[in-house]
Amino acid sequence: MAQVDRSFIGEGIAYARAYQSQDALLDIGNCDVFNISYQTNRIALPNYRGGGGNRNVRDRVTDVNTTLGLWDLTPENIARATRATVTEVDTTPIPDEALACAGVLGELIPFKHLPDLTVAPVLKTASDTALVAGTDYLLNQHGIIVLSTTNITSAGVKASYTPRGASVIQMLTAPAVELEIYIAGLNDAQSGEPYSLRVHRVKLGLVSQMQAFGQEYLKLEIPGEALADDRITGTGISKFCQMDMAA
């Protein structure tokens, strides 16, 4: 039988859910990388009988590493990459939030939460004197910029505003995440032929960096390790991952 072309260029959608859960498998966004790599511990028994070489050798798998490349910076993905907890901001209007400042021209005074600018904030001095937008301060998407120090002083200001709907991501406050990952893949070298890759248990590591400023789209490249899933039993069935390829 003649050899047929079985070249492979993988693409598709990555789905994930918490390990050992019955949660829905949800699309985690635009991924350009999902790699599995293996490390082994090699022990060789030299041949002492003449002629050199080895009498025997053993390669034992020590690590099954993964790499996940994410381009969609959802709060959930950032939390997975930085071991964070995520909470949602209460959008109930906040009256007279006390804000500390130095009373310096050009100073940014950020609100505790990002303001909803469709509802005009009301600013006052610490002694409840009204402040005038465009004269005393300039409103921006984070708070205000001081334009005049006549009324804005080191005594601080008060802001009444409505918080914008947002997620608060508290980094390095949670344990490492364990996920079940399902790759719904297509082989772009074979006219979109389907394949799947199910990794039963992946423990995610920390990203080495998260670039807050840059000139390119930010990518989260998350290392991880596929761990043995002891829920899986049976002869010839992997505790790590399974790949299905269309005939």
Closest CA to 9 of 27, 32, 26, 30: 32
pLDDT attached to residue 38: 95
Query: Which residues does the chain have with pLDDT short of 50?
Result: none
- Continuous segment of H or E residues that includes residue 19: none
- Burial pattern 1-24, b for ≥16 Cβ within 10 A else e, equals eeeeeeeeeeebebbbbebeeeee
pLDDT attached to residue 224: 97
Which pLDDT tens digit goes with each residue over 85-118?
999 999 999 999 999 999 999 999 999 999 999 9
Distances (CA, A) of 207 to 26, 28, 70, 74, 224: 21, 16, 11, 15, 10
* CA angle in degrees (0–180, nearest 5) for 210-142-129: 155
The first and second tokens of residue 208, run together, are 């080495």
Distances (CA, A) of 160 to 97, 154, 194, 242, 247: 6, 19, 55, 55, 64
CB count within 10 Å of CB 40 equals 11
The first and second tokens of residue 63, run together, are 């690590």
pLDDT attached to residue 247: 83
Contact (CB, 8 A) for 33 and 197: no
**Order of strands across the sheet that contains 137-139:** 108-110, 143-146, 137-139
pTM for this entry: 0.88
- Count the alpha carbons within 13 Å of 64 in the hemisphere toward its beta carbon: 15
Contact (CB, 8 A) for 29 and 70: yes
CA distance 6 to 115: 55
CA distance 220 to 215: 15
The alpha-helical segments, DSSP class H, found in the chain are 75-82
The first and second tokens of residue 184, run together, are 């719904």
Closest CA to 145 of 155, 134, 154: 134
Contact (CB, 8 A) for 57 and 44: yes
